[in-house]
């Protein structure tokens, strides 16, 4: 089963910023970051059991629709909202960033 992937505009900005930061540190590292992100997003979109892939958000109701998944090799977390047929990425945040800053991005 493939879900529709929706990325919040601010999540896209976070992705661009992180890739640029890594690329400035070492040529090609920004692409490696984007490749790692693509692999994780592809797995989330095509998995029939997204909740098993993503963990609960610390402090959030474990029965709630918000999940997180760690990015391989990079200290980033993908925060997403699962609904039937859709996976909405709300944030791609550094693991040391204040949790919950993305809550204003929730759809109405």
Domains and CATH numbers, the chain: 4-105 (3.30.2310.20)
Q: Is the pLDDT of residue 54 over 90?
A: no
Best CA proximity match to 89, nearest among 4, 2, 1, 22? 4
Residue that wins the pLDDT comparison between 76 and 65:
76
pTM score above 0.75: yes
Q: Is the pLDDT of residue 85 over 90?
A: no
10-30: average pLDDT: 97
Q: Considering Cα of 55, then 60, then 63, then 66, what sign does the dihedral take?
A: negative
Q: Is the pLDDT of residue 41 over 90?
A: yes
Rounded Cα–Cα distance for residues 89 and 67 (Å) = 10
Rounded Cα–Cα distance for residues 107 and 1 (Å) = 24
Best CA proximity match to 47, nearest among 87, 74, 93? 87
């Amino acid at each position: 089963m493939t879900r529709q992937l929706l990325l919040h505009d601010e999540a896209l900005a976070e992705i661009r910023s992180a890739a640029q930061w890594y690329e400035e540190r070492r040529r090609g590292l920004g692409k490696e970051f984007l490749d790692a992100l693509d692999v994780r997003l592809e797995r989330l979109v095509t998995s029939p059991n997204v909740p098993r892939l993503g963990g609960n958000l610390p402090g959030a109701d474990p029965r709630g629709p918000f999940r997180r998944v760690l990015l391989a090799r990079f200290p980033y977390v993908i925060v997403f909202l699962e609904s039937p047929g859709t996976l909405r990425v709300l944030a791609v945040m550094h693991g040391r960033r204040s949790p919950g800053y993305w809550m204003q991005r929730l759809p109405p």
